[in-house]
């Protein structure tokens, strides 16, 4: 079968992955599930993996097939699988968990001590077929196109996971700032609108992204190139600041906004990454605000997000590309030329 594989780390996205002919995955355990991939979302993390940013954090045996946002049709299952059958359409949580370690027993599956992460530590879904497990697949409702929903497998639940934490701290009349209305941010904004009564302030460099934010429910949109973001937030909130900030960019420039835009006792959620946090400790003490890290959401949160999608509260803006176009997609993402999410359709 065909697979888009990373052979060596590089900053040159035009040569990042090669299309190789590899053996199709086989059922080797009683709980295995083999999925014919119909949609695999391209994520900024894929670019970071190609650049080698994850090498120091997780084991990455190269060559490796990338792609961690996957959905498709089940083509084979292990003998003990009862959740799905051949022919069922599913979305695949990117992490295959053991279910028996202490974090799994506590429901914190993202902290599984024996996990395998498709496209990050083991072969992913930029291929004709994907090897996963029964613990990682969720049957799709009738009428949901796997290619349309695939990015929710990571982008969606990462955004939802952060918003769910933020919503717990939001009251009607509070302001919530969403920084970056891109592939994750436009999902997070919709989740925020569906799950809270906060006033939403969207911040993005691109006019098209700000227009999308308005369409999706933002009460205010701000351009950081032409407007002073702290001054604007101060005016919108009558000087209180934003109760919750969801930073889907995670660059030095956006994390640096935290002391000036986050309300006392509020949170600045780091969802996008690549930058750093350089703030004096006194700034956190004075404002008693927190930086909050966010990783991929849990399996149960993907189920919850699928329910929001089925209800029509969250809609993905996607563009589709052939498997052979993976490097073109990576380049476009580097140039910020993709609104919403790019989906590879093997």
Residues 232 and 332 reside in one and the same domain: no
Q: Say yes or no: 145 and 172 in one domain.
A: no
pLDDT of res. 121 = 96
pLDDT tier at 267 (50, 70, 90 boundaries)?
A: very high
Name the helix (H) or strand (E) containing 261. helix 258-261
Q: How confident is the model at residue 270 (pLDDT cuts 50, 70, 90)?
A: very high
Domain C-terminal end among 293, 314, 331: 293
Q: Where residue 201 falls among pLDDT bands split at 50, 70, 90?
A: very high
Q: Beta strand 318-321 with 341-344: parallel, antiparallel or unpaired? A: parallel
- Model pLDDT, residue 109: 86
Say what percent of the chain tops pLDDT 70.
Answer: 100
Q: What is the pLDDT of residue 283?
A: 87
Mean pLDDT of 156-165: 95
The pLDDT of residue 198 is above 90:
yes
Which pairs from 282-288 meet CB under 8 Å and 24+ separation? 283/258, 283/259, 284/259, 286/259, 287/259, 287/262, 287/263, 288/264
Rounded distance, CA 203 to CA 119, Å? 30
Same domain for 150 and 162? no
Residues 143 and 239 in one domain: no
pLDDT higher than 90, residue 185 = yes
What is the tens place of the pLDDT at every residue in 105-138? 998 888 999 999 999 999 999 999 999 999 999 9
Strands 242-247 and 89-92: unpaired
**Domain identity same for 11 and 77:** yes
pLDDT band per the 50, 70, 90 thresholds, residue 36: very high
Q: Is the pLDDT of residue 339 over 80?
A: no
- Which pLDDT score is estimated for 98? 94
What are the structure tokens assigned to 328, written together? Answer: 């073109």
CATH code where residue 258 lies: 3.40.50.720
Q: Is there a contact between 139 and 91 (Cβ–Cβ < 8 Å)? A: no
Query: If we measure between CA atoms, which residue out of 190, 215, 219, 200 comes closest to residue 309?
Result: 190
Q: What is the mean pLDDT of residues 29-34?
A: 97
Instruction: Count Cβ neighbours within 10 Å for each residue of 51-67 and write b for 16 or more, e otherwise.
Output: beebeeeeebeeebbbb
Section 31-41 average pLDDT: 97
In total, how many domains does the chain have? Answer: 2
Look at residue 340 in the predicted model and tell me its pLDDT. Answer: 79
pLDDT of residue 28: 94
- Based on the fold, state whether residues 6 and 115 are members of the same structural domain: yes
> In terms of DSSP H, where are the helices of 133-251?
146-149, 155-167, 185-195, 207-215, 229-236
What CATH number is given to the structural domain containing 52? 3.90.180.10
Rounded to 5°, the CA angle 96-97-99 comes to 150
pLDDT of residue 183: 86
CA distance linking residue 213 with residue 236, whole number of Å: 17
Same domain flag for 286 and 307: no
Which residues span the domain enclosing 174? 157-293
| Average pLDDT, rounded, for the chain | 94
- The model's pTM: 0.88
For residues 165 and 241, membership in a common domain is answered with yes
Looking at 293, 313, 329, the residue that finishes a domain is: 293
Pick the last residue of a domain from 272, 293, 314.
293
- Verify that 12 and 131 share a domain, yes or no: yes
From first CA to last CA, the distance across the chain in angstroms is 10
In the chain, % of residues over pLDDT 90: 84
pLDDT at 159: 95
Q: Read off the pLDDT of each residue in 92-116 and give the average, rounded to a whole number.
A: 93
Same domain, 150 and 15: yes
Could you tell me the pLDDT band of residue 279, with boundaries at 50, 70 and 90? confident
Structure tokens at 57: 């954090």
Same domain? 7 vs 142 = yes
Work out the average pLDDT over 243-258: 96
Is there a single domain that holds both residue 178 and residue 132? no
Write down the pLDDT at residue 199: 97
CA-CA-CA-CA dihedral for 69, 151, 17, 36, to nearest 10? 60
Dump pLDDT digits (tens) for 295-324. 898 988 999 999 999 889 998 888 999 999
Neighbour-count burial of 328, counting CB atoms closer than 10 A to its CB (0-12 exposed, 13-18 middle, 19+ buried): middle
């Amino acid at each position: 079968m065909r697979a888009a594989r990373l052979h060596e780390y590089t900053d040159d996205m035009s040569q990042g992955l090669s299309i190789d002919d590899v053996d199709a995955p086989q059922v080797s355990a009683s709980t295995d599930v083999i999925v014919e991939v119909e949609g695999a979302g391209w994520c900024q993390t894929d670019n970071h993996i190609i650049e080698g940013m994850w090498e120091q954090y997780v084991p990455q045996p190269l060559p490796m097939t990338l792609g961690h946002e996957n959905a498709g049709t089940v083509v084979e299952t292990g003998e003990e699988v009862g959740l799905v059958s051949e022919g069922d359409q599913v979305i695949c949580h990117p992490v295959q968990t053991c279910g028996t370690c202490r974090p799994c027993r506590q429901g914190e599956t993202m902290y599984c001590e024996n996990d395998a992460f498709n496209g990050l530590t083991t072969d992913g879904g930029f291929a004709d077929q994907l090897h996963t497990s029964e613990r990682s697949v969720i049957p799709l409702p009738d009428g949901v196109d796997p290619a349309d929903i695939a990015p929710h497998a990571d982008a969606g639940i990462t955004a939802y996971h952060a918003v769910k934490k933020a919503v717990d701290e939001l009251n009607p009349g509070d302001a919530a700032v969403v920084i970056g209305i891109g592939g994750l941010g436009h999902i997070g904004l919709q989740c925020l609108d569906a799950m809270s009564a906060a006033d939403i302030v969207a911040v993005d460099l691109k006019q098209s992204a700000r227009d999308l934010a308005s369409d999706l429910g933002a009460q205010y949109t701000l351009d950081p190139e032409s407007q002073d973001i702290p001054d604007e937030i101060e005016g919108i909130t009558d000087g209180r600041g934003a109760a919750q900030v969801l930073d889907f960019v995670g660059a030095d420039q956006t994390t640096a906004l935290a002391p000036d835009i986050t309300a006392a006792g509020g949170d600045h959620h780091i969802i996008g990454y690549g930058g750093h946090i350089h703030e004096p400790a006194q700034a956190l003490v004075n404002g008693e605000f927190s930086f909050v890290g966010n990783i991929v959401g849990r399996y149960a949160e993907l189920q919850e997000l699928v329910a929001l999608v089925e209800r029509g509260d969250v809609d993905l803006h996607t563009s589709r590309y052939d498997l052979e176009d993976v490097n073109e997609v990576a380049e476009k993402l580097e140039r910020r030329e993709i609104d919403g999410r790019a989906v590879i359709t093997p």
